[in-house]
Every structure is written in structure tokens, then in C-alpha cells.
Amino acid sequence: MSELKQGTWVVVADGEKALIFRNLTDHENPNFELLTEMEQDNPPNREQKTSKAGRMQDTGVQQRSAVEDTDFHELEQDRFAADLAAKLYEEAHTGAFEHLVLVAAPAILGEMREKMHQEVEKRIVFEIPKTLTNHPPPKIEKIVKAEMDGA
């Protein structure tokens, strides 16, 4: 069973916001201190598109097919996950943390895993596939502890 040790970093992220906490106490009574908040302005895809999806000529007579449209919102979420992974690498490289708990929406967690450097990966003690960025810190503390206890 993994435990929240003193000094463990807890990263709570979605595709547009990340909260980086440090646990000031122990596993029994976690107390998260907010170290950094990262935010990205990422409007819905419909607000980022400039025109409707394109069409292309098929091989048959009078046949046309739609071309899949680029999801700019998703691209920005992926970029944000990559930026967060890079920040964690910089911090791990300087020895800022020894243990890391990742809490993120499943898609973002997957994207972060792809971009995560080994230096950060070896410090991950627990992952929680949930979106908690809009919860207050005391509630995040309770949820993280409960998830880790139930593992």
C-alpha cells in the first residue's frame, strides 16, 4: 500500500488546469499546501474553428466525403499535458520532490504518461484517474487519502 509521506507532491490536473500541492504532514492527516497553479485558456472547439469541415471528391460519380475536422480543444489539452510533464521533469531534476501522486482525468493521465520522463516516472507512487481540479483542497486531501487506502 502506498502512503502519502511528508513532502509528497500531489498533482491534480485536467486539460486546462493543474494544481501542484505538497503534503505537509503524513498519510493519516494529509495537509496539502498549494505550490503552483497552472492554467491554460482553452475555449471549446466550436469557438476555435474557423470554418466547417472540408469535403473531398470520391472516386464515384457525384460522390463527396467529409474530411475529419481538427479538434483544436483536444490539441490544446494534449499540449497542456506535455507542458505539465515538462515542468515536473524540471522540478524532479532539481530534486524538488521524491514522491509524486498524479490525479487527473483519464485522458489527460494517459497523455501525461506518454510525455513523462523516466526521472518523473520513477517518483510516481500512485495515480488516480479522476477530475478534481474544481474541488477545494480539504476535499482533495480526503479523496486522495481514501483512494490510496482503498488500493
115: CATH: 3.30.420.60
Please tell me the pTM assigned to this model.
0.78
Residue 90 domain boundaries? 9-42+66-150
CA contacts within 13 A on the Cβ side of 56:
5
Q: What is the DSSP letter of 37?
A: E
Establish if 125 belongs to a structural domain: yes
Length of the chain as a residue count: 151
Distance from C-alpha of 23 to C-alpha of 8, rounded to nearest angstrom? 5
SS3 11: strand
Number of domains into which the chain is organized: 1
Establish if 55 belongs to a structural domain: no
Q: 89-146, pLDDT tens digit by residue?
A: 999 999 999 999 999 989 889 888 999 999 999 999 999 999 999 999 999 999 999 9
Number of neighbours of residue 126 by Cβ within 10 angstroms: 19
